[in-house]
Amino acid sequence: MVNAKELLTVAKSLPVDPELFRGLFRQILEVRLFEEETIQLFHSAKIIGYLHPSIGNEAAEVGATAGLAKADIIFPTHRGHGFFVARGASFEKLMAELMGKEAGYCKGRSGDLHMVAPEVGIMQVQGILGSQLPQAVGTGVAHQCQKNGRVTLCAFGDGAAGNGTFHESLNLASIWKLPVVFFCVNNGWAASFPFTKSTSAATNAIRAVGYSMPGYDVDGTDVWQVYCTVKEAAERARAGGGPSLIQANTVRWRGHDPSDTAPYRPKEELETWDLHDPVRIARKQALDRKLLSEADIEKLKGEIGKKIAQAVEWGLAQALPARADYLAEVSGKF
Amino acid sequence: MDVRQLQYNEALNEALIEEMTRDEKVILIGEDVGAYGGVFKVSKGLLERFGPERIRDTPICESAIIGTATGAALMGMRPVAEISFIDFILLAMDQIGNHVAKIMQIAPGLLELPMVIRTEGGVGGGIGCQHSQSLEALFAHLPGLKIVMPSTPYDAKGLLKTAIRDNTPVMCIENKKLYALKGPVPEEEYFVPIGKADVKREGKDITIIATSFMVHEALKAAEALEKDGISAEVVDPRTLVPLDVDTLVASVKKTARALVVHEAVERCGIGAEISAVLNEKAYDYLDGPVLRHAGLNVSLPQNWHLEPVCIPSADSIREKVKSILG
């Protein structure tokens, strides 16, 4: 029997930078408050179609984004609002898109499941899980040809790692030594199917060995650990050292989406959520390290809440796309 | 001055060389496209000329070939992805159907996808049902893809060059029996527009609308039909999406009869679409129903003795036309 730990790479731990950590905490809080709002808007049918909130993945998304350079490219998962928030995408345009409004990022045609924000380097969310991996490889090919110094972070879930594209993409990225960081967010559940039953390895990270690349297994609820790991992998990729595979372990908050009550999840797992709540964890880290006070955090909450409320108000005031305009634009074009 | 003669695959090769020389954003991705020069020799000599960064030999991973081309296109490259047999493209259907066709439409004005998917189809050489299909209709059913099907070396070069410069995804579906076909290809640069049909032979009694290799069978049939006192017009749509409806209608207006011929199986083939379009747009000019003469609805046996039963030929087209006008 192979000892899984021996196959893994561990990133060098960097000393905590107070300024950066405060910024990361703020982003984690932004993602959480943004998502609490989207869930309300979903239940009141102001957000239409699908919604896959990032609650539980905040630290993974924020830490990974921070480990990249600004010009690097991110492919989010279908549960990926956190990447948009962490990259500083417009809350107004995000909310408007989720509401199906013309003023949204994609004129109200993409919603939650196909959101894209090229202005902040975020590629299109794909509703076919795992389909983004070869596309991320393609951006890596472009970086290599253009010698642009960019790296692509390709996020995907533990469920998507079961798709054949996982193998094809990691193999290609490795043989071509592409600047791609594969970032598997393992939140324990692929809809109703648990990681323990879906995955024949202790962690996807050990699969990296078979693709001749480093594999990291990290606590995805620890923002600093994620940051240090992605930064190391991204810098290796940028220097021509090729791809890496990271599995960031998180815990999904409740169901697959707000309409899923998750009856298939063990009661004790749901009851211990607090232990894995990235906001609580980051909050404790910030307080313990005396980087923020309780009062600072309350102030932050107020500021972020206001920013989100403004975005919601703006989104609600926007117009839905006019059917006649849409028809005129697309009719006979495709 | 005599116009230079090139083979269909040489014409495609020349199109790639010209476009890759002109624009370093053009890259080629596919199985055996490197040292081997492509299964049908379309990329012959390209590796030596452009190097392994732009001529990317891949493992067997059709889904990743298309996905990789997609990602590269999203970053401003102009990739040409080669799927050596169209049968293999079924492995990449998610990337094509759910992504290549859709990405630009659901991110209006935000993303461009200047990519070409080159592949081929058609029966030939007794290589069986997983190397002989004509699957173009599957892609015509997906809004967001342009589809060209050149039947001559001239059209192949001109259409591929246009496709590479197009800012939206284009599928170029070639034909294995055409790669060795010779035809005139001018030395000077030219383009064939996407969405423009070509009347390959003028006639007045019936319009035969044929695609790809069947254009040549239809031309042979038309020649033979002359001896039967029938003047057949042969129209090659060249582009299936967008279809040049005007040229098809204009021809039918003249002949009042139409027969659609293709190698793909008849059921839900492109002939069904062409027939429906003519029914809607040219009904008043027709003296009879638009008919189809296409591949048998069957999975091809791996036996060249049986192949002629499964697809149309010049003889069968001639008989079909005589039965219509007889």
Dump pLDDT digits (tens) for B35-54: 999 999 999 999 999 999 99
The verdict on residue A328 lying in a domain is no
CA-based nearest residue to B83, from B100, B66, B99: B66
pLDDT at residue A1, rounded to an integer: 57
pLDDT at residue B27, rounded to an integer: 98
The verdict on residue A13 lying in a domain is no
pLDDT range class, residue B172, cuts 50, 70, 90: very high
B131 is a catalytic site residue:
yes
The verdict on residue A334 lying in a domain is no
Residues 6+ positions from A30 with CB-CB distance below 8 Å: A85, A86, A304, A307, A308
User: Which chain A residue is nearest to residue B50, measuring alpha carbons?
Assistant: A145
Complex ipTM above 0.85?
Answer: yes
Contact criterion met (CB < 8 Å) for A134 and B94: no
pLDDT at residue A191, rounded to an integer: 94
Size of interface A-B (CB pairs under 8 A): 126
Residues A99-128: b if buried by 16+ CB within 10 A, e if exposed: bbbbbbbbbbbbbbbbbbbeeebbbbbbbb
pLDDT digits (tens, 9 = 90+) for A285-326: 999 999 999 999 999 999 999 999 999 999 999 999 999 999
pLDDT range class, residue B264, cuts 50, 70, 90: very high
Q: Tell me the angle at which helices A18-43 and A223-238 cross, rounded to the nearest 10 degrees.
A: 110
Cβ atoms of residues B230 and B325 within 8 Å: yes
Contact criterion met (CB < 8 Å) for B75 and A146: yes
Domain count along chain A: 1
pLDDT at residue A5, rounded to an integer: 83
pLDDT at residue B154, rounded to an integer: 98
pLDDT at residue A95, rounded to an integer: 98
Residues 6+ positions from B111 with CB-CB distance below 8 Å: A116, A118, A124, B74, B103, B104
Mutation choice for A interface testing from B20, B23, B58, B74 by most A CBs within 10 A: B74
Question: Cα dist. A58→A23, A81, A98, B238 in Å?
Answer: 13, 9, 19, 52
**Does residue A4 carry a pLDDT above 90?**
no
Q: What are phi and psi of B292, to 5 degrees?
A: -115, 145
In terms of residue numbers, what domain contains A173?
Answer: 18-249+265-316
Measured distance CA(A90)–CA(A96) in Å, rounded: 10
Q: Which long-range contacts (CB under 8 A, 24 or more apart) does B125-129 make?
A: B125/B176, B125/B304, B126/B302, B126/B303, B126/B304, B126/B305, B126/B307, B127/B302, B128/B300, B128/B301, B128/B302, B129/B87, B129/B299, B129/B300, B129/B301, B129/B302
pLDDT digits (tens, 9 = 90+) for A102-118: 999 999 999 999 999 99
pLDDT at residue B326, rounded to an integer: 82
The verdict on residue A213 lying in a domain is yes
Average confidence (pLDDT) over B127-150: 98
The verdict on residue A85 lying in a domain is yes
Domains and CATH numbers, chain B: 5-184 (3.40.50.970), 198-325 (3.40.50.920)
The verdict on residue A31 lying in a domain is yes
Cβ atoms of residues A73 and A153 within 8 Å: yes
User: Which chain A residue is nearest to residue B144, measuring alpha carbons?
Assistant: A334
Average confidence (pLDDT) over B210-217: 98
Q: What is the CATH number of the domain that holds A173?
A: 3.40.50.970
Measured distance CA(A34)–CA(A31) in Å, rounded: 5
Cβ-based interface (< 8 Å): residues of B facing A: 24-25, 27, 29, 53-54, 56, 58-59, 61, 63-64, 66-77, 79, 94-95, 98-99, 103, 105-111, 143-144
pLDDT at residue B1, rounded to an integer: 61
Contact criterion met (CB < 8 Å) for B53 and A114: no
Contact criterion met (CB < 8 Å) for A139 and B71: yes
User: Which chain A residue is nearest to residue B61, measuring alpha carbons?
Assistant: A168
Looking at chain A, the whole-number percentage of residues with pLDDT higher than 70 is 99
The verdict on residue A258 lying in a domain is no
pLDDT at residue B306, rounded to an integer: 96
pLDDT at residue A91, rounded to an integer: 98
> Which three-class secondary structure string do you get for chain A?
CCCHHHHCCCCCCCCCCHHHHHHHHHHHHHHHHHHHHHHHHHHCCCCCCCCCCCCCCHHHHHHHHHCCCCCCEEECCCCCHHHHHHCCCCHHHHHHHHCCCCCCCCCCCCCCCCCCEHHHCECCCCCCCCCHHHHHHHHHHHHHHHCCCCCEEEEEECCHHHCHHHHHHHHHHHHCCCCEEEEEEECCEECCEEHHHHCCCCCHHHHHHHHCCCEEEEECCCHHHHHHHHHHHHHHHHCCCCCEEEEEECCCCCCCCCCCCCCCCCHHHHHCHHHHCHHHHHHHHHHHCCCCCHHHHHHHHHHHHHHHHHHHHHHHHCCCCCHHHHHHHHCCCC
Of A73, A131, A144, the CB nearest to B67: A131
pLDDT at residue B2, rounded to an integer: 78
Average confidence (pLDDT) over B49-71: 98
